[in-house]
């Protein structure tokens, strides 16, 4: 008995070894795979002309997109953006590779009619979704490159009054397409109190007009995350300052804007929200921005697109309730397909019949034409025959006349010869007598 007991008593260590299956390692697998593949992120800047979009995007990721732009203590004028410009940079940090696509867009508001100024931007965003949908729907699909727009920084002019009608309209055109993060441009033109007041006005306008901007997720478990998100929520819309000028402040080289009363430093959190914005995009919320793009905006696009396709084909599947049994749905689709095939068959038969009729008509026309030509030729031949007979008759007549005349002539010659012959005989007799 004690022998059996000894056999079944296992140590705690052994127990732990037996109960360890290995799925606790799953996060590591996911992590390793993600790191190996790298990350892709696309950020777009949109807003009125001259608000500093190109300047900000140039320095946002500490990579100079506009390399031809020279940095010096004196302010440099960024060339005006005239078309949507994509710049892709590959950055690596701690073995993690990030392929970053920054999309600079031309500013709007310069022309008289701005009623459709969002169209090129919306079309551009849609084109990226379209490409992704096509890549994803291919038969042989591998890893789908993700060039969808994950975040759009919307630049609000620092006018102090709030959103203009054009900004409201523009954001409404975009809010179901991408994550809008509103930023107040050229925040150095405000005092800190004015910034706080203007932020409130802008947020109120956003709420009053039902504009859906990017919402930071609620961190249910992590209190630290929740506090950080709360801070970010309070910072929105981010007041930013952009500059391509390197200045020296306290023996340190910084990006900033020089004023007679001091320097507005781009990366100083006391001066503006530039670093908060950059941290939000890169450090804390990049994956959430990507998730919302994929799960909400891309899904919206996909559903609308597929709904359009099915309504264009007039398919009966439109009438199917989403909860319907897939087999029943398949049956309906099959019937619909058969109906479509029958319709196509009928149409093809109709077309064939028309074509045959046309061909027969053509042959009939050719036959008529040939008959007409045959009759004309017969008539010509008959005429020629008649002419030939007439010529022959004339020839016979002429020949007969000739023969008669020839006959007459011969008779005349003969009679003349007969008359001349006796006279000659007499003459010969006379000459013979003379010789004798």
Q: Which residues bind Mg ion (CB under 5 A)?
A: 53-54, 81
Other beta carbons less than 10 A from residue 126's beta carbon:
15
Residue in 44, 59, 107, 214 binding ligand GTP, rule: CB under 6 A: 107
Kindly tell me which of 228 and 266 has the beta carbon lying closer to ligand GTP.
266
Does 184 contact ligand GTP by CB under 6 A?
no
Beta carbon of residue 212, minimum distance to ligand GTP (angstroms, whole number): 24
Beta carbon nearer to ligand GTP, 125 or 183: 183
Contact residue for ligand GTP among 157, 182, 237, 242 (CB under 6 A): 242
Q: Are strands 39-47 and 151-156 parallel, antiparallel or unpaired?
A: parallel
Helix (H) or strand (E) holding 387: helix 326-435
Of 18-26, 170-178, 181-189, 423-431, the segment contacting ligand GTP by CB under 6 A is: 181-189
- Single out the residue of 79, 83, 127, 128 nearest to residue 105, CA to CA: 83
Give the per-residue contact string, 135-164, with ligand GTP (x = CB under 6 A; - = no): ------------------------------
**Cβ proximity of 78 and 244 under 8 Å:** yes
3-state helix, strand, coil in the chain (%, to 5): 60, 15, 30
DSSP state, 285? S
First-last CA distance in the chain: 203
User: Minimum Å distance from CB 108 to Mg ion?
Assistant: 11
Q: Should residue 174 be labelled a site residue for ligand GTP when binding is judged by CB under 6 A?
A: no
CA dihedral 93, 94, 99, 102 (to 10 degrees): -30
The smaller minimum CB distance to Mg ion, of residues 53 and 150, is found at 53
Q: For 127, what's the count of Cα atoms within 13 Å in the CB-facing half-sphere?
A: 7
Choice between 49 and 114, CB closer to Mg ion: 49
Q: Which of residues 37-76 bind ligand GTP (CB under 6 A)?
A: 49-55, 75
Q: What are phi and psi of 10, to 5 degrees?
A: -110, 150
189 lies in the binding site for ligand GTP (CB under 6 A): yes
Which spans of this chain sit near ligand GTP (rule: CB under 6 A)?
A: 49-55, 75, 77-78, 80-81, 106-107, 186, 188-189, 241-242, 257
């Amino acid at each position: 008995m004690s022998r059996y007991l000894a056999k079944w008593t296992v140590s705690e260590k052994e127990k732990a070894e037996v109960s360890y299956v290995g799925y606790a390692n799953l996060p590591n697998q996911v992590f390793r795979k993600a790191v190996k593949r790298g990350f892709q992120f696309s950020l777009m800047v949109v807003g009125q002309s001259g608000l500093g979009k190109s300047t900000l995007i140039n320095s946002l990721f500490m990579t100079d997109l506009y390399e031809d732009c020279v940095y010096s203590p004196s302010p440099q004028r960024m060339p005006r953006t005239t078309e949507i410009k994509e710049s892709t940079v590959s950055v690596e940090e701690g073995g993690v590779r990030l392929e970053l696509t920054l999309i600079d867009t031309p500013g709007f508001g310069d022309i008289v009619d701005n009623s459709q100024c969002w169209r090129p931007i919306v079309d551009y965003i849609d084109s990226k979704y379209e490409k992704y949908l096509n890549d994803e729907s291919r038969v042989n699909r591998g890893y789908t490159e993700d060039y969808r727009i994950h975040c759009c920084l919307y630049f609000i002019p620092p006018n102090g009054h709030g959103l203009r009608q054009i900004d409201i309209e523009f954001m409404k055109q975009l809010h179901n397409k991408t994550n809008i993060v509103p930023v107040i441009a050229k925040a150095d033109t405000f005092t800190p109190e004015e910034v706080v007041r203007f932020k409130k006005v802008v947020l109120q306008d956003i709420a009053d007009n039902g504009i859906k901007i990017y919402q930071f997720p609620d961190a249910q478990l992590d209190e630290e995350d929740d506090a950080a998100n709360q801070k970010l929520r309070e910072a929105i819309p981010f007041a930013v300052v952009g500059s391509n000028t390197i200045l020296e402040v306290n023996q340190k080289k910084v990006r900033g804007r020089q004023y007679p009363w001091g320097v507005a430093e781009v990366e100083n959190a006391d001066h503006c929200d530039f670093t908060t914005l950059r941290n939000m995009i890169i450090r804390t919320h990049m994956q959430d921005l990507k998730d919302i793009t994929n799960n909400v905006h891309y899904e919206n696009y996909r559903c609308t697109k597929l709904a359009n396709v099915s309504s264009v084909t007039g398919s009966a599947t439109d009438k199917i309730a989403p909860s319907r049994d897939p087999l029943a749905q398949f049956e309906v689709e099959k019937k619909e397909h058969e109906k479509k095939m029958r319709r196509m068959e009928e149409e093809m038969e109709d077309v064939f019949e028309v074509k045959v009729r046309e061909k027969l008509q053509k042959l009939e026309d050719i036959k008529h034409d040939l008959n007409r030509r045959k009759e004309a030729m017969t008539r010509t031949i008959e005429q020629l025959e008649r002419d030939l007979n007439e010529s022959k008759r004339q020839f016979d007549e002429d020949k007969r006349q000739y023969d008669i005349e020839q006959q007459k002539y011969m008779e005349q010659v003969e009679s003349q010869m007969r008359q001349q012959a006796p006279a000659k005989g007499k003459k010969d007799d006379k000459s013979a007598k003379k010789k004798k």
